Amino acid sequence: MPTVYDVIVIGAGFAGAATAYHLSRLGAFRILILEREAEPGRHASGKNAALLRQAVNDPQVGAMVQETLRALESPPEDWERKNIFRCTGSVLLGENRVLSGFAGLLQKLGAAFELRGRHDFPENLDAEFREELRAADYEALLFTPGDGVVDVAALLANYLDAARSRGATLRCGAEVRGLSRETEAWRVSTGAGEFRARLVVNAAGAWAGGLGVAAGLPDRGFEHFRRHLFLAAPAAPKLDRPYLWDTAHEFYFRPDSQGLLLCAGDEEAHPAREPAVDPRVETRLFEKLRAYFPALASPEIRRAWACLRSFLPGSPFLIEAEVGAPGFLWVAGLGGHGMGSSFGAGRSAAERAAAFLNRQAP
Ligand SMILES: Cc1cc2nc3c(=O)[nH]c(=O)nc-3n(C[C@H](O)[C@H](O)[C@H](O)COP(=O)(O)OP(=O)(O)OC[C@H]3O[C@@H](n4cnc5c(N)ncnc54)[C@H](O)[C@@H]3O)c2cc1C
């Protein structure tokens, strides 16, 4: 007989880890987290740019980012690692129309911001940054002082460790290969054995759609886009400087303890598998910097990597039960803000999971 759990969470990225974390706070549920890789965070959740950005396109996602921000600023008791957020502020450049839209959302969320015209700089920006901005190509500037950079490895570990401290089990090297619904439970087959649970949480990132189909569910039509990040090495990284995101020409950069992290804003459709680095993207990054932010014309790139952002077209995130498949919960399609929104996304998913489990309770 396979081992029986209340919940099996598939995937130990931010979606799965934050869901397991909140669920472990909501009740004494027997939780098993299955992760295919040898350790958590090998994909988007460990390779992202670590930016917490409050100005997003969707109000629900915006509210979830606020939840994460509050948790980072006043860490819950059960987090082992407390000081994991560097509040640097952010500077978004772009069209007045677009940035005004973001400002409207920030206002509704109660977040501080300054919307400025070209060459009208917020006080917090140092003289050198102002000089660099003078040479940049943009119409308006949105400064969000509460934004910043997260220690993503520590945040992921906080979620997982706190869940484990309340009895959840994390099994790495356990790839889910089959999912089938039995009378009262799901049977989950992995390379490391078979397990059963009343509820399955599909938090498998780019692989979530394929797992749904393997379980006999309709294809949800997720789309995946490859994005590269580059690490350059300037003379002295200025860690307290705001990160800069040009929303019109889509590129961003931020100081990093090892130099400067840059992104060309590339988004190329890609199948759900680990992407290779395409050297042409570095050329595209340099072209954008030369044209729109010449102060950074040719950074010396030391390292490049790529990973996938997954979206469900027409919907910000997919956090919902599968109609017609009792006990199957999606937490997928977290797109480009899945780390920053993780606390709120995990809470929302866990509340749905707990409601289902409590309804089913004998
Ligand atoms: C280049 C880039 C930069 C980004 N920058 C930011 C940023 O600055 N700020 C921000 O908020 N967000 C950012 N994001 C988005 C963020 O990283 C993602 O939204 C988030 O990490 C998605 O988490 P996830 O748990 O859904 O997916 P993943 O991190 O991919 O986790 C899914 C996990 O499921 C596991 N898995 C898959 N299949 C199986 C299986 N069959 N059995 C068992 N386990 C399985 C995988 O191994 C993986 O560990 C960025 C994304 C990219 C690509």
- Per-residue pLDDT of 4-46, as tens digits, reads 899 999 999 999 999 999 999 999 999 999 999 999 999 999 9
Q: What is the secondary structure of 162-221 as a DSSP string?
A: HHHHTT-EEESS--EEEEEE-SSSEEEEETTEEEEEEEEEE--GGGHHHHHHHTTPPP--
Both 160 and 216 in one domain: the answer is yes
Mean pLDDT for the chain? 95
**Taking the C-alpha atoms of 162, 339, 314 and 285 in order, what is their torsion angle to the nearest 10 degrees?**
-160
Residue 362: the pLDDT is: 57
Q: Which of 334, 341, 342 to mutate to test the pocket of ligand 1 (most atoms within 8 A of CB)?
A: 334
Number of domains into which the chain is organized: 2
> Which DSSP category does 295 fall into?
G
**Any domain includes 62:** no
Both 302 and 319 in one domain: the answer is no
Q: Residue 141's domain spans which residues?
A: 90-145+223-310
Residue 233: the pLDDT is: 86
Q: Is the pLDDT of residue 353 over 90?
A: yes
Q: How far apart are CA 119 and CA 114, in angstroms?
A: 13
Helix (H) or strand (E) holding 285: helix 280-292
pLDDT interval class at 2 (50, 70, 90): low
pLDDT interval class at 361 (50, 70, 90): low
Q: Whose CA is nearest to atom 12 of ligand 1?
A: 337
In total, the chain counts a number of residues equal to: 362
Q: For the whole prediction, is pTM greater than 0.85?
A: yes
pLDDT interval class at 183 (50, 70, 90): confident
Q: Which of 339, 341, 343 to mutate to test the pocket of ligand 1 (most atoms within 8 A of CB)?
A: 339
**Any domain includes 65:** no
Residue 290: the pLDDT is: 95
Both 301 and 197 in one domain: the answer is no
Q: How far apart are CA 165 and CA 173, in angstroms?
A: 21
Q: Which of 207, 315, 317 to mutate to test the pocket of ligand 1 (most atoms within 8 A of CB)?
A: 207
pLDDT interval class at 192 (50, 70, 90): confident
**Any domain includes 129:** yes
| Contact status, residue 31 vs residue 187, Cβ threshold 8 Å | no
What's the 14 CA to ligand 1 centre distance in angstroms? 7
Residue 269: the pLDDT is: 97
Bridge partners, 179 (sequence order):
188
- CATH code, domain with 131: 3.30.9.10
Describe the crossing of helices 14-26 and 152-165 by its angle, rounded to 10 degrees. Answer: 30
What's the 356 CA to ligand 1 centre distance in angstroms? 25
Residue 236: the pLDDT is: 65
| Contact status, residue 70 vs residue 44, Cβ threshold 8 Å | no
Q: Is the pLDDT of residue 360 over 90?
A: no
pLDDT interval class at 235 (50, 70, 90): low
